[in-house]
Amino acid sequence: MGNTIRVRVVVAGALTAVAAAGAVIGGQPADARAVTAAGHVQNSIKWGECPDLAPGTKRDPRQTCGTVKVPLDYRRPDGETITVAVSRIATAKHGKKRGDLLFNPGGPGLQGLDMPGQMALTLPKGVLDSYDLIGFDARGVGHSTPMSCGLSGTSLLTIFPYPGVGGSIEGNVTTARAVARQCATIGDKLRFFNSANTARDMDRIRRALGARKISYWGQSFGTYLGVVYASLFPHNTDRMVLEGNVDPGKVWAKMLNTWNQGMNDRFPDAARVAAADDAGLGLGGTVGEVTDTFLALADRLDRKPAMMPGTPVAISGALLRGVTYQMLQRNEMLAPLTRFWKAAADLSAGKAPADADVAVLRQILADTPAAKGVPADNQATMVLAMLCGDTTWSREVDSYADATAASRAKYPLSAGMPNNILPCAFWSQKPIEPVVKVTSHGSRNILILQNRRDNATPWAAGRGMRRALGDRAAFLGVKHGGHFVYGTGSTCADKATVAFLIKGTLPAKIASCDGPRP
């Protein structure tokens, strides 16, 4: 899930092997409530000023912040502690409050401290009157004891690697080894920053809020985090909205593999926008022609990257594909994406792009400085902590080469990236516990929102979430493109979400909504 234009890959993650009422800690069955009850448990939050914002960002002036101390290792609750940063916008009206609504934007590794203010702009009065809005930076992320592997110059394009010229993964293998070696320097601590412990932190937040139950809205990876919580703490889970879903049965390599079909489903939406402006863009007059132009451009840029005027930035095939993946997640980004393709094509052909296209290039590729106190590689570090720390990965390099070659042949738009080797193949630490088992046990209190054409968490992943939760959840499929459902043009989906949060009303077990087509 990313909320900015910068090149930041958004992953929807997964976790799992725990019965509905308990967790598995260190391989030994243990009741989740007993695990989190041991040691000092914070029972209140001192609300005050929030940490400094990143340059160029804004914050709802009503928001206040605080911290919750949690164990680094829940198996040793009286041992080392870390801090989780929490925020609140107290929107609930006196006499109408039914609870607290906790948000997570996914990533993994995206900061969620300011998500209440972002969501307050889109939620109707009925929801705001019913809930106080709660945000948090997940453990290790942002202002929550931020972790850093010291990955200087490493971007998420190197963590989610596109193969080199002709599909070679030799360079990717070298980079993956180097990144894993660098993260091994903090591996003894980083191994505790997994999805299950993040869910346990959420229950500590609930307790510090003084809430018997907590409601939750998770996007992308946040959907997986939500069902891990609901599986570990079913009796503490109130109403839960899951938007843009991970398949809990495919954590993690198999989930990344779904991006192949996701790209095939979503790319035509952008290609239609480009074809409609063939006279101005010259990328082709049909979806097929635009697709062929894109693939040929990516191949040329693989072989000879194009320098962006006045900068040291080279637009490679990997950068072209990475930006495309990111911008396909939001419908309002489709038109700028087609201008990016046009500018990249002009540069590759040795032409000077129009001033307007250069401006688009600069906006898209501009980096966003980190907030004070947050390491520059924080998100990259936490993506790896979750992906590599939740599950084990194959260490057979040849298997990645074979899978990448097969993927490139079948899904040229994603170019083999979803099957390529990651630093997880060389990770220094094994997972500290089995994945949490997501089951259908529990109250029917979950709403799944899933777009039909979502490249980041594809349709099949949303259906996988429904299968895992069974009758515990209602599945609302929207005939729409993009990674986000609520507030993107489907009145039907918006009304269903609001009715669920306010009244607890869920649609039929499997329902459908129309959505605007770009």
Q: Is the pTM of this model over 0.75?
A: yes
Q: What is the mean pLDDT of residues 79-107?
A: 97
DSSP per-residue letters across 214-231: EEEEEETHHHHHHHHHHH
Q: What is the mean pLDDT of residues 202-213?
A: 98
Which is more confident, 307 or 158?
307
Q: What is the mean pLDDT of residues 457-482?
A: 97
Share above pLDDT 90 across residues of the chain, in percent, rounded to a whole number: 83
Q: So what's the pLDDT on residue 20?
A: 24
Q: How confident is the model at residue 261 (pLDDT cuts 50, 70, 90)?
A: very high
Whether the pLDDT of residue 10 is over 80: the answer is no
Whether the pLDDT of residue 290 is over 50: the answer is yes
Q: What is the mean pLDDT of residues 299-306?
A: 97
Q: Is 476 helix (H, G, I), strand (E, B) or coil?
A: strand
Whether the pLDDT of residue 463 is over 60: the answer is yes
- The token duo for 133 is 């809005």
Average pLDDT taken over every residue of the chain: 91
- The token duo for 94 is 């006196």
Q: So what's the pLDDT on residue 370?
A: 83
* Distance between CA atoms of residues 482 and 511, nearest Å: 19
Q: So what's the pLDDT on residue 430?
A: 96
306 CA to centre of own chain: 30
List the one residue out of 418, 424, 458 whose CA is nearest residue 161: 418
Q: So what's the pLDDT on residue 297?
A: 98
Q: So what's the pLDDT on residue 157?
A: 76
* Distance between CA atoms of residues 498 and 501, nearest Å: 5
- 221-239 pLDDT, tens digit per residue, is 999 999 999 999 999 999 9
Share above pLDDT 70 across residues of the chain, in percent, rounded to a whole number: 92
Which is more confident, 120 or 15?
120
- The token duo for 508 is 């039929």
- Cβ-in-10-Å burial (0-12, 13-18, 19+) of 54 comes to middle
* Distance between CA atoms of residues 305 and 324, nearest Å: 16
Q: So what's the pLDDT on residue 158?
A: 77
* Distance between CA atoms of residues 485 and 496, nearest Å: 11
Q: So what's the pLDDT on residue 11?
A: 30
List the one residue out of 244, 219, 248, 246 whose CA is nearest residue 231: 248
Whether the pLDDT of residue 441 is over 70: the answer is yes
* Distance between CA atoms of residues 108 and 142, nearest Å: 12
* DSSP β-bridge partners for residue 218: 104, 242
Radius of gyration (C-alpha) of the chain in whole angstroms: 22
